[in-house]
Amino acid sequence: MLTDQTVLIVESEFLIALDIQRCLETFGAAHTVFARNTAEVMDAIDRWPSFGFALVEVHHRHDDDTASLLRGLAKAGVKLVLLTADTTLRRGHSEFPAAPVVMKPFLEEDLASALKQALTS
């Protein structure tokens, strides 16, 4: 599903990011790039066009820094998947209705389903 793609993982918890990376590798991702927060992703803005997907942790609906990051990634043509533990985002983010949401903690099947959904949107 992700054959030869580079995937950005924006996740503050390193062990969760490693688990996501493991899943992505089973789905065929060629490379993963880690960032712990929005600032680290902004430092790599020149690499954005190389990302096929970005899995971005969203803490709450009104997180302006994350929303700005998501707008920039979407503008660069990166497919988005949102990761969250915030149950108010379970049905999606109003500003990014096409971005599937994966609730944490997640099963590998949940992540696969969200990636497939992002591929078709």
Instruction: Name the pTM for this structure.
Output: 0.94
User: Is the pLDDT score of 82 beyond 90?
Assistant: yes
Average pLDDT, integer, range 13-42: 95
- Partners of 5 in the beta sheet? none
Q: How confident is the model at residue 66 (pLDDT cuts 50, 70, 90)?
A: very high
Amino acid identity, position 116: K
Backbone φ and ψ of 16, nearest 5°: -65, -40
